[in-house]
């Protein structure tokens, strides 16, 4: 409990730096793997090119990617008065399973952020759109509001059209707000990793944007095992920490899949795991704590991890024991995967269990992602970011990358 309170008392002001607007990459480079790569190893900082990454990862180790796919989550509607209303779909509410929500053919409910909500006090807004299946009338209705998010009911009148098809046809890709521009057709491709598969994210796992087929092939030639997990990135990744102390910042839950094959692969590579991106870190670390939760409970707890729960659970459970407990729960389901959720807050003072190396982009000042980086390598994060600023690295989602090696 002392550790948790100490972490809650961390001042976000200590994780700030000046980021000039001209260093925020508004667009990606023409070639994904042509970006700069900052390499940090035990206090030493060097500059490389991303396409050289395979030379820096130990052979016969494991690299884990987040294969989530960004959905066209922003939908535009207009009231009879002409007021523009934007509905930004965050996660499915009813049904709550992503694949089921996308497959609905008449109605569904989503948790959403609503732009220009002051102009939409009540009532139903209708929009007619042309689809390959014919004209479709879509209506949206606000059902409830909590903490700035709205439960929106979508209904449409063509049973041959799924909600996933409506999003794909009518939605816009939700590029980050700090790019200060509208989404363009090119973002439909460049704001997805080349290995994206499972739809559900409203933000890309941007560390993966640097990978090309050439890079992946080079990694495999060095006998580096490549494995994919799925965590659907929520809009919370855009939210700055507004409280002075991080204990006042709420972390939104993000949903991920646990497959029957993931746990054995992780166990066989313990001590040799490279995570591609902070979302992969959150997934892998959450797997351990969910296993600890299962071992610590006399009941049959849900596979959910609260924001501070990892600091309250027993801290010394062996890695393999925790992972095997979680694997047994997955096998018990009789399905190839189970859904889980995590709100884990990783901040300085956190003890990493699963991840040994991290590939990530450069993150915003005063962000929870920067807190995670500081937890991983300590105060050297300041030296890394100062080096990147001094050497004109490109920052944020479409920017350059860094490889953090603690040993």
> Does 333 reside within a domain?
yes
82: Cα separation from own chain's centroid: 35
Whole-model pTM: value is 0.94
> Does 54 reside within a domain?
yes
Contact 195, 226 (CB under 8 A): no
Q: Tell whether 237 and 101 lie within a shared domain.
A: no
Q: Tell whether 240 and 357 lie within a shared domain.
A: yes
Q: Tell whether 148 and 279 lie within a shared domain.
A: no
Q: Tell whether 167 and 201 lie within a shared domain.
A: no
> Does 164 reside within a domain?
yes
Number of separate helices (H) and strands (E) present in the chain: 11, 18
Q: What range defines the domain where residue 274 resides?
A: 2-69+189-405
Q: Tell whether 166 and 240 lie within a shared domain.
A: no
Contact 366, 240 (CB under 8 A): yes
pLDDT per residue as tens, the chain (407 positions) = 678 899 999 999 999 999 999 999 999 999 999 999 999 998 999 999 999 999 999 999 999 999 999 999 999 999 989 999 999 999 999 999 999 999 999 999 999 999 999 999 888 999 999 988 888 999 999 999 987 889 999 999 999 999 999 999 999 999 998 999 999 999 999 999 999 999 999 999 999 999 999 999 999 999 999 999 999 998 877 678 999 999 999 998 999 999 999 999 999 999 999 999 999 999 999 999 999 999 999 888 899 999 999 999 999 999 999 999 999 999 999 999 999 999 999 999 999 999 999 999 999 999 999 999 999 999 999 999 999 999 999 999 999 999 999 87
Q: Quote the pLDDT of residue 215.
A: 98
> Does 160 reside within a domain?
yes
Q: How many domains does the chain have?
A: 2
Residues with Cβ within 8 Å of residue 215, at least 6 apart in sequence: 33, 50, 51, 53, 54
Of 171, 205, 221, which residue is a domain's last?
Answer: 171
> Does 193 reside within a domain?
yes
Q: Tell whether 342 and 203 lie within a shared domain.
A: yes
Q: What is the CATH number of the domain that holds 51?
A: 3.40.1780.10
Q: Quote the pLDDT of residue 1.
A: 67
Q: Tell whether 227 and 342 lie within a shared domain.
A: yes
Q: Tell whether 221 and 280 lie within a shared domain.
A: yes
Q: Tell whether 166 and 213 lie within a shared domain.
A: no
Cα–Cα distance, 41 to 225 (Å, whole number): 22
Of 143, 171, 199, which residue is a domain's last?
Answer: 171
Q: Tell whether 396 and 330 lie within a shared domain.
A: yes
Cα–Cα distance, 273 to 157 (Å, whole number): 48
Of 103, 138, 171, which residue is a domain's last?
Answer: 171
Sign of the CA dihedral 258, 264, 265, 270? positive
Q: Tell whether 65 and 92 lie within a shared domain.
A: no
Q: Tell whether 141 and 204 lie within a shared domain.
A: no
């Amino acid at each position: 409990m002392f550790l948790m309170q100490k972490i809650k008392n961390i001042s976000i002001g200590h994780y700030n730096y000046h980021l000039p607007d001209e260093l925020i990459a508004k667009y990606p480079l023409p070639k994904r793997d042509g970006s700069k790569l900052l390499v940090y190893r035990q206090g030493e900082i060097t500059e490389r090119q991303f396409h050289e990454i395979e030379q820096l990862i130990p052979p016969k180790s494991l690299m884990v990617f987040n294969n989530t796919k960004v959905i066209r989550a922003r939908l535009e509607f207009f009231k009879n008065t002409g007021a523009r209303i934007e509905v930004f779909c965050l996660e499915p509410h009813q049904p709550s399973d992503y694949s089921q929500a996308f497959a609905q053919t008449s109605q569904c409910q989503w948790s959403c952020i609503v732009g220009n909500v002051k102009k939409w006090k009540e009532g139903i807004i209708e929009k007619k759109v042309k689809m390959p299946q014919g004209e479709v009338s879509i209506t949206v209705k606000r059902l409830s509001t909590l903490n700035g998010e709205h439960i929106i009911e979508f209904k449409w009148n063509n049973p041959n059209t799924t909600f996933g098809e409506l999003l794909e046809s009518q939605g816009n890709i939700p590029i980050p707000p700090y790019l200060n521009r509208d989404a363009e057709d090119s973002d439909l491709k460049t704001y997805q990793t080349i290995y994206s598969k499972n739809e559900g994210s409203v933000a890309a796992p941007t560390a993966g944007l640097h990978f090309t087929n050439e890079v992946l092939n080079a990694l495999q030639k060095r006998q580096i095992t490549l494995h994919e997990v799925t965590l659907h990135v929520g809009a919370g990744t855009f939210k700055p920490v507004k409280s002075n102390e991080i204990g006042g910042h709420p972390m939104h839950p993000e949903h991920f899949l646990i497959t029957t094959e993931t746990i054995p692969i992780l166990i066989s590579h313990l001590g040799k795991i490279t995570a591609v991106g902070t979302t992969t870190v959150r997934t892998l670390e959450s797997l351990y704590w969910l296993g600890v939760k299962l071992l610590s409970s006399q009941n049959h707890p849900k596979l959910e991890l609260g924001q501070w729960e990892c600091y309250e659970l027993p801290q010394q459970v062996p890695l393999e024991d925790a992972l095997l407990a979680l694997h047994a729960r997955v096998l018990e389901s009789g399905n190839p995967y189970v859904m889980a959720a995590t709100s884990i807050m990783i901040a300085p003072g956190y003890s990493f269990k699963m991840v040994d190396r991290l590939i990530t982009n450069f993150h915003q000042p005063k962000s929870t992602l920067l807190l995670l980086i500081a937890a991983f390598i300590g105060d050297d994060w300041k030296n890394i970011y100062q080096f990147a600023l001094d050497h004109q690295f490109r920052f944020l989602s479409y920017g350059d990358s860094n490889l953090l090696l603690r040993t």
